[in-house]
Amino acid sequence: MAADNNAPVLHARIERFDAAFDALVAPDAQVEKLAEGFIWSEGPVWLGGELIFSDVPENTAWRWRPGMTRAEVFLKPSGLLTPQPGFREPGSNGLTRDAQGRLLLCQHGERRVARYEGGTFTSLADRFEGKRFNSPNDLCVRKNGDIYFTDPPYGLEGINDSPLKELPFNGVYRVTPAGQVTLLERELTFPNGLAFSPDEKLLYVGVSDEQATRLVAYDVQPDGTIARGRTFFDAQPLLTGADRGLVDGLKVDRAGNVWSSGPGGILVISPAGKLLGRINTGQPTANCNWGDDGGTLYITANMFLLRVRTLAKGAGW
C-alpha cells in the first residue's frame, strides 16, 4: 500500500524500565515503518518467507516481504466471503501456522476458524453445541495440533448486543485435529490474544476490557483443559495520558517473556509478571509476531505495519 501524505506521523520510541530489557532489545534498536494506510492492521504471521497480516474492517489480508516498498493484497475477501449485513469488522483477524506450515485464520465474517491452502478455505470450527461462534479473534496452536482460540463479539455490529450473537458468553475454546470443540473458559468479558509459554504449561490470554484490561495466566492440564486462572499482568494502570490501546494480541519468546499489545504499544513482561520495557508505537497497537530469522518483531499498530530487531527470538524459532 502506498504511503498516504495525510496519514499521521509515526512517533515511536523504545522505553526501558528494567536492566533485563537490555538482553532483549539492543540499546540502539529502532522502530521502522514498513507500510501504512490500513484501517486496523492485525494478526501478523511469518509464512513462507513473507509476512501475512489482516486489515479486519477492510476484509483484506495483506502480504509484505523484505525488499518490498509497499504491501500487496494476499486475500480479499479474507473473513466474510459472501456479503451480508450485521458485521462491523468482517475480515480475518488473528493468523497463525499449523505444524505443516499452513495458514490458519480467525474469520470474523464467517464466524469460524479456518485453514487456507491451495486457494481454498476449510472450516475447522464454526459452532459450539450447535450455536454459531461470535467472531473468532485470535488463535495459537499447541504442539499436539490442538488449536486454542478466543471468541469475543468484536466483528458484530452492536458487539454484545448484536442480534446475530447466539452464545450468551465470550469464550476461550480448543479444537482438536479431529474437530472436537471444547469450551475452556466463559467468564472473561472480552478474551482476545493468546499464547503458550515455551513449555506449554501456561496459557496466557489477553483481556481487552476497557474497564479491566489485563493478561490472565492459566495452568494447562494434561488433558488440554485450563485451570487456576489468575491475573498475570494488570495493564489498566498504564491507561494514562497519551498511552492508548488495550491488551490485545501477544506472543512469547524463547525465554518465556510475554510480548503483548497494551497501552502505549508492545509491553515486554518477564515470566514473573514484571514490566521490563515497552515498544511505544504512539498508536493503539493490535498484535506482534517474529519473522525473518526469528529475531525481527513485526508489529501491527492501527494504520501501520512496523518492525524492530530484537535480541530475543520468538518461541519456536
Between CA 114 and CA 156 the distance in angstroms is 18
- What is the reported pLDDT for 2? 41
- What is the reported pLDDT for 6? 54
Going across the sheet that includes 265-269, the strands are 13-16, 275-280, 265-269, 258-262, 250-252
Which residue blocks in 120-243 are alpha helix, DSSP H? none
pLDDT at 1 over 70: no
Q: Give the SS3 label for residue 69.
A: coil
- What is the reported pLDDT for 194? 98
- What domain range is 131 assigned to? 38-251
Residue 8's pLDDT band, with cuts at 50, 70 and 90, is low
Give me the mean pLDDT over the 73-102 stretch: 97
Give me the mean pLDDT over the 22-47 stretch: 97
* Cβ count near 49 (within 10 Å): 9
Q: Give the SS3 label for residue 275.
A: strand
Task: Give per-residue pLDDT as tens, 89-146.
Answer: 999 999 999 999 999 999 999 999 999 999 999 999 999 999 999 999 999 999 999 9
Between CA 194 and CA 95 the distance in angstroms is 12
Task: Give per-residue pLDDT as tens, 204-253.
Answer: 999 999 999 999 999 999 999 999 999 999 999 999 888 999 999 999 99
* Three cell numbers written together for 213: 484490561
Helices and strands (H and E) in the chain: how many: 0, 27
CA–CA distance from 158 to each of 61, 72, 163, 276, 286 (Å)? 24, 31, 8, 37, 20
Q: Give the SS3 label for residue 99.
A: coil
Maximum CA pair distance of the chain? 53
Question: Are 71 and 51 a contacting pair, CB within 8 Å?
Answer: no
77 domain residue, yes or no:
yes
Measured at the alpha carbon of residue 70, what is the angle toward residues 47 and 101, in degrees to the nearest 5?
A: 5
94 domain residue, yes or no:
yes
Question: What is the average pLDDT score of the chain?
Answer: 96
Residues linked to residue 16 through DSSP beta bridges, in sequence order: 277
Where are the strands (E) in 48-201, listed by range? 50-55, 60-64, 72-75, 92-97, 103-107, 112-117, 120-125, 127-128, 131-132, 139-141, 147-150, 172-175, 181-185, 191-196
Between CA 59 and CA 108 the distance in angstroms is 9
20 domain residue, yes or no:
no
Task: Give per-residue pLDDT as tens, 151-178.
Answer: 999 999 999 999 999 999 999 999 999 9
% residues pLDDT > 90 (the chain): 95
245 domain residue, yes or no:
yes
The count of structural domains within the chain is 1
What's the CATH number where 42 sits? Answer: 2.120.10.30
CA–chain centroid gap for 213, Å, is 15
CA–chain centroid gap for 113, Å, is 14
220 domain residue, yes or no:
yes
Between CA 279 and CA 147 the distance in angstroms is 28
44 domain residue, yes or no:
yes
* Three cell numbers written together for 84: 451480508
Question: Are 59 and 74 a contacting pair, CB within 8 Å?
Answer: no
310 domain residue, yes or no:
no
Q: Would you list the DSSP string of 5-66?
A: TTSPPP--EEEE-SGGGGGTS-TT---EEEEE--SSEEEEEEETTEEEEEETTTTEEEEE-T
pLDDT at 200 over 90: yes
283 domain residue, yes or no:
no
